[in-house]
Every structure is written in C-alpha cells, then in structure tokens.
Structure 1
Amino acid sequence: MRPRPHPVFGKLGPMPAASLRAMVGYGLNEAEIGRYFGVTPSSVRRLKRSLGICDSAAE
C-alpha cells in the first residue's frame, strides 16, 4: 500500500514542486506563500523541506 500524499499538495495545483519553487523564486516567504495557497506557513516550510527547496537567497 502506497502512502497517500499530504492534502496540502492538492492546494498547490497539479505541479506542487514547480509552484512552490516559483513562489520561492519570486522572493516570497512562507507566510506569503501560505496566504496565497490557503495553508499555514509551517505547512509550506515542511513542503519545502520534503521537496528539497531552499530559499533563493541561500542558493
């Protein structure tokens, strides 16, 4: 049995990793991204970590 994806992934559209990378690339922080997608900043932080997405300033 495969694990079910986290429900937050559905809020980020059909390509959640690309959506999140784009928002980070635009310079938005977790609170701003969370507000845009209707999720908590901590959910955004966890998704970034699980997808291996770093803040653009750190790259």
Structure 2
Amino acid sequence: MTDRRIDPRVVKTQRRLRRALVELLRVMPVKSISVQHITSRAMLPGEPFTCITVTKRILCPQL
C-alpha cells in the first residue's frame, strides 16, 4: 500500500488559490475571472507559467 499523504506545499497552494477565488468572486463576475487573476491574487511564488499550470491542475483536476 502506498502512502497517500499530500505534500504540505500543495495543501498550502490549494488554500491560497481557493481563498483568492472566493475573494475575486466577491468583487468580479464569474465570466471576468481568469486563471491569471486567481494566481496573481493568491500571490504564488515562482514562474508565472508554472503557477498558471499548477493552478489549472488544482482547480480543474479532471482536465
């Protein structure tokens, strides 16, 4: 059986992204919100393209 613990960094990033999304939903219509808006609001460290890719995987895991 494998250990299924999630990396704490992933958990922290998920929390930041969810919080950013909720904050944006309070001030913007859904159609106006982009992945770039969410990542910039979440203040994720790292290269922007990488952040956007990770954000898409976390928010839309089925893609």
With the length of structure 2 as denominator, give the TM-score of the two structures.
Answer: 0.46
Q: Which has the larger radius of gyration?
A: 2
With the length of structure 1 as denominator, give the TM-score of the two structures.
Answer: 0.48
